[in-house]
Amino acid sequence: MNNSLMILKNIGLISEMFFGMSLIYLILFGSVLSTHKKYPIIQKTILNLSILVLFLYILLNLNNNLSVTGNLLFNFTIIDDYLSFFSKILITSFCLICLLVIKKYIKDQKVNQFEYLIIIMISILGFFLLCSSNDLITAYLAIELQSLAFYIMAAFKKDSFFSVEAGLKYFILGSFSSALLLFGFSLIYGLTGTLNLTDLKDLFFFLYPGIDFTTDTSFNTELLQIALFFILTSLLFKLSVAPLHIWSPDVYENSPTSSTIFFAVISKLSILVFISRIFQFSFHGLIYNWRYFVLLVAVLSVIVGSFTAISQKKLKSLLTYSSISHIGYILISFSAGTFEGIQNLLAYLFIYMLAGLCVWSIFLVLRLKKFYLKKQNKDLTDMSLLIKMNSALAICFTIVLFSIAGFPPLVGFFTKMNIFLTSMESSMYFAAIAAILASVVSTFYYIRVIKILYFEEVIVGNLYYPLSYIEPFIVTSTFFCFMFFFIDPTYLYIISYKIGLLFYFF
């Protein structure tokens, strides 16, 4: 093949190439500058440069008009379709906002090594590659890139015993789940002889569901089911759903909050995109083999997330359990296996990420004055009577919590209702009823937080440090997003519907 032709053919991935190259330039820049004679702290510079890189990445992606064709690049291992385009744009914009939010935190906590931001950026590269991977090896490498960066991010506050413990715990359990993933991949490769998701779709898409394959001796789907089970276990472990969730409250609570934002808010999207690629796209023909497992896990995680969060006293662990139950709702719509399932998955995930970003940035913004500055692991009572101190922030927090709980004049209501509708339409009545009952329980602890914000009877309130301009801007803009998407949810639903429609046809 001619060399220049090959470059033209693979131009769909030019934004990732740009990202990787600029990462290397960032590393060079940082290592040259930070080992200078005076050892300057270049944390802020690197952060601003990474924001610039992310911004240019968005521009490059928006100008990529090839994404509608859904072409396959790099020897059919990378897919450049609308789902990957949308998820990359989403991830980049959320990461950009996250980097803006954690700026102050990094300065306060004295995370003075510039490598922290480089590692965050490398994990973002892992998200991108995972979103567009059409091949099991590429996906495995991307997952490894992302999770290896996460282990380091969890352990990065070296003077904190908790942070190191969280990093070690995450590393051991995460590498165990990666081993399961590799085992599943190798079983699939042994059974089918291919690692390409499109080839797997061509093999399995036209199987008629419901036929008993055990009588057919030519192909053994039982072993394939075991392989799918292993892959699903590993990926659901990375998503921290209910029977595999034990690690996540510890890791989320003990690692530095700037890392926890990335774990809790952004890492879910890329893995869910890959799960839907492999299960809804390649193995949709075998839906009866994996559907009930996913549904069981989903309902269990909704119930566990709702009931365990009641007894939490720390805001971080409460948010963790709430994220577990949200992933449960998403998986309910995922296990429907329809267009609407994919559509509602993406819509719910978008609203979940938006709400998570708002809540975590409020969490980061509130810095108590009376305590030691480094104390970040907030109790719920640290925010008592926030309405007296900072009423705008309290109102924003309330609105976001109502939206997460699914109250009607907010967009969270629409997305949650649509998930229940989807599960009803694909005749999963018991799952829908269990999820509705659990969501009623889960409103209790959201309202409890609101009660603490407004009506707590304390004699002495808390004092907070004044806010700078950027974090309140982010909080209020996400707050207006909730209002906007309630008044006009068509943008959300049109984009997600388009993705769902285009998803099955490549």
Q: Which residues bind another protein (CB under 8 A)?
A: 13, 20, 27, 38-39, 74-75, 77-78, 112-113, 115-116, 118-119, 122, 125, 129, 137-138, 141-142, 144-145, 148-149, 151-152, 155-156, 158
Q: How far is the CB of 315 from another protein (least distance, A)?
A: 27
Asked whether the beta carbons of 85 and 64 are under 8 A apart, the reply is yes
Q: How far is the CB of 484 from another protein (least distance, A)?
A: 38
Considering the complex, state which of residue 130 and residue 231 has its C-beta at the smaller distance from another protein: 130
Q: How far is the CB of 74 from another protein (least distance, A)?
A: 5
Q: CA 268, 196, 147 angle in degrees (round to 5)? A: 30
Q: Residue 130 has which token pair?
A: 């995972």
Q: What is the DSSP letter of 255?
A: S
- DSSP helix/strand/coil, 317: helix
Considering the complex, state which of residue 143 and residue 449 has its C-beta at the smaller distance from another protein: 143
- Rounded to whole angstroms, the Cα distance separating 467 from 291 reads 47
Considering the complex, state which of residue 168 and residue 417 has its C-beta at the smaller distance from another protein: 168
Asked whether the beta carbons of 484 and 388 are under 8 A apart, the reply is no
Considering the complex, state which of residue 39 and residue 371 has its C-beta at the smaller distance from another protein: 39
Find residue 54's DSSP bridge partners: none
Enumerate the H helices of 262-314 as residue ranges: 267-275, 287-308
The span from the first CA to the last CA of the chain, in angstroms, equals: 25
Considering the complex, state which of residue 149 and residue 324 has its C-beta at the smaller distance from another protein: 149
Asked whether the beta carbons of 143 and 130 are under 8 A apart, the reply is yes
Q: How far is the CB of 320 from another protein (least distance, A)?
A: 24
- Rounded to whole angstroms, the Cα distance separating 393 from 398 reads 9
Amino acid at 294: V
Considering the complex, state which of residue 195 and residue 432 has its C-beta at the smaller distance from another protein: 195
Torsion of CA 316, 321, 323, 327, to 10 degrees: 160
Considering the complex, state which of residue 163 and residue 308 has its C-beta at the smaller distance from another protein: 163
For residue 370, what are the contacts with CB-CB under 8 A and spacing of at least 6?
462, 463
Considering the complex, state which of residue 166 and residue 405 has its C-beta at the smaller distance from another protein: 166
Q: Which letter, b or e, does each residue of 4-14 get, where b requires 16 or more Cβ atoms within 10 Å of its Cβ?
A: eeeeeebebbe
Asked whether the beta carbons of 380 and 314 are under 8 A apart, the reply is yes
Q: How far is the CB of 113 from another protein (least distance, A)?
A: 5
CB atoms within 10 A of CB 177: 20
Q: How far is the CB of 266 from another protein (least distance, A)?
A: 17
Q: How far is the CB of 241 from another protein (least distance, A)?
A: 26
CA 372 to chain centre: 31
Considering the complex, state which of residue 374 and residue 388 has its C-beta at the smaller distance from another protein: 374
Q: How far is the CB of 255 from another protein (least distance, A)?
A: 13
Torsion of CA 127, 132, 134, 136, to 10 degrees: -10
Considering the complex, state which of residue 111 and residue 353 has its C-beta at the smaller distance from another protein: 111
Radius of gyration for the alpha carbons in the chain, expressed in angstroms and rounded: 23
- Rounded to whole angstroms, the Cα distance separating 177 from 256 reads 23
